C-alpha cells in the first residue's frame, strides 16, 4: 500500500511542479500585481495546519452525518470507493459520495468522464466531508479580482496551482485518516479507492488507496 500511495503522491507532486513552473515563468514576463499576490498567497499556505484542519472536520462529519441513520439509511452497505467533489475556483468545500466501483484490474485505475464503472449509492450521497483550506483561501480572495489579471488564462493557471497543492494535502489527509482508523466503522471492500473531482469538469483523480 505504501508503494502505491507513494506513486500516487509522486504523480500529484509532478502536477504541482508543472503548475508552479507555468506560473513562475508567466510572472517573469508579467508585472501584474494581482497575479503576484495570488502566487504569494499560494506560497504562504501552511500545509501541515491545512491537513490537521481537514482531518478534524472529516472525523467530525463522519460521526455527525455518514454514520447517522438520519442521513445514511443503509449504514451497513458495503462499497469500495468514495468520490469527493468540489466546486472548483469558487468552492473549497468537498462533499462525499459512496460508490461501488466495478474494477478488478491489478493496475491503478484511471477514471473516465461519465465512467460507466461507477455506481453511485444512496447511503453516502452529497454528505459533508471537509473544506480544503487551500482551495477556500483561493475562493474567498479571487472573487471580484478576476478582471485584474491580464487575462483569464492567468486565473486558470493560478487555480491549477492551488488545486494541485490541495490534492497533495488531501492525499496526506487520507493517509492520516487511515492510520488513525477513522473509517473503521464503514463497511469498506478492499482495495478501497479515494477519488476527487471538480463538479462537471471531467474525470476524477485517484488520490489514495487502502488495500
**Cell (9 digits) for 94:** 468537498
Q: What is the pLDDT of residue 112?
A: 78
Distance CA 92, CA 140 (A): 9
**Cell (9 digits) for 153:** 488564462
Helices (H) and strands (E) in the chain, counts: 5, 5
* pLDDT tens per residue across all 211 residues of the chain: 568 999 999 999 999 999 999 999 999 999 899 999 999 999 999 999 999 999 999 999 999 999 999 999 899 999 999 999 999 888 889 999 999 998 878 788 888 778 888 999 999 999 999 999 999 999 999 999 999 999 999 999 999 999 999 999 999 999 999 999 999 999 999 999 999 999 877 789 999 999 8
Residue 2 CA: distances (Å) to CA of 9, 48, 177: 10, 20, 14
Q: Write the DSSP symbol of residue 22.
A: H
Q: What is the pLDDT of residue 114?
A: 81
Distance CA 105, CA 165 (A): 29
Q: What angle do CA 127, 129, 135 make, to 5 degrees?
A: 125
Q: What is the pLDDT of residue 96?
A: 97
Task: Return the SS3 of 1.
Answer: coil
Q: What is the pLDDT of residue 1?
A: 58
**Cell (9 digits) for 66:** 455518514
Q: What is the pLDDT of residue 115?
A: 83
123, 98 in Cβ contact below 8 A?
yes
What spatial distance separates the first Cα and last Cα of the chain, rounded to whole Å? 6
Q: What is the pLDDT of residue 26?
A: 96
Q: What is the pLDDT of residue 103?
A: 83
Instruction: Using alpha carbons, select from 123, 147, 138 the residue that is nearest to residue 198.
Output: 138
Q: Write the DSSP symbol of residue 101.
A: E
Q: Write the DSSP symbol of residue 107.
A: S
Task: Return the SS3 of 112.
Answer: coil
Q: What is the pLDDT of residue 137?
A: 96
Residue 191 preceded by cis peptide, ω within 30: yes
Amino acid at each position: 500500500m505504501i508503494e502505491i500511495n507513494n506513486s500516487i503522491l509522486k504523480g500529484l507532486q509532478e502536477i504541482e511542479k508543472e503548475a508552479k513552473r507555468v506560473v513562475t515563468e508567466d510572472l517573469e514576463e508579467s508585472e501584474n500585481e494581482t497575479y503576484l499576490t495570488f502566487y504569494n498567497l499560494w506560497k504562504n499556505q501552511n500545509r501541515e495546519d491545512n491537513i490537521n484542519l481537514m482531518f478534524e472536520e472529516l472525523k467530525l462529519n463522519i460521526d455527525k452525518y455518514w454514520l447517522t441513520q438520519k442521513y445514511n439509511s443503509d449504514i451497513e452497505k458495503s462499497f469500495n470507493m468514495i468520490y469527493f467533489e468540489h466546486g472548483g475556483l469558487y468552492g473549497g468545500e468537498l462533499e462525499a459520495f459512496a460508490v461501488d466501483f466495478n474494477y478488478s484490474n491489478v493496475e491503478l485505475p484511471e477514471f473516465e468522464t461519465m465512467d460507466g464503472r461507477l455506481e453511485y449509492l444512496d447511503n453516502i450521497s452529497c454528505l459533508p466531508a471537509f473544506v480544503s483550506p487551500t482551495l477556500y483561501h483561493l475562493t474567498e480572495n479571487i472573487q471580484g479580482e478576476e478582471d485584474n489579471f491580464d487575462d483569464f488564462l492567468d486565473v486558470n493557471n493560478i487555480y491549477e496551482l492551488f488545486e494541485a497543492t490541495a490534492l497533495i494535502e488531501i492525499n496526506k489527509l487520507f493517509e492520516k485518516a487511515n492510520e488513525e482508523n477513522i473509517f473503521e466503522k464503514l463497511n469498506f471492500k478492499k482495495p478501497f479507492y479515494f477519488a476527487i473531482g471538480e463538479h462537471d469538469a471531467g474525470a476524477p483523480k485517484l488520490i489514495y488507496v487502502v488495500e
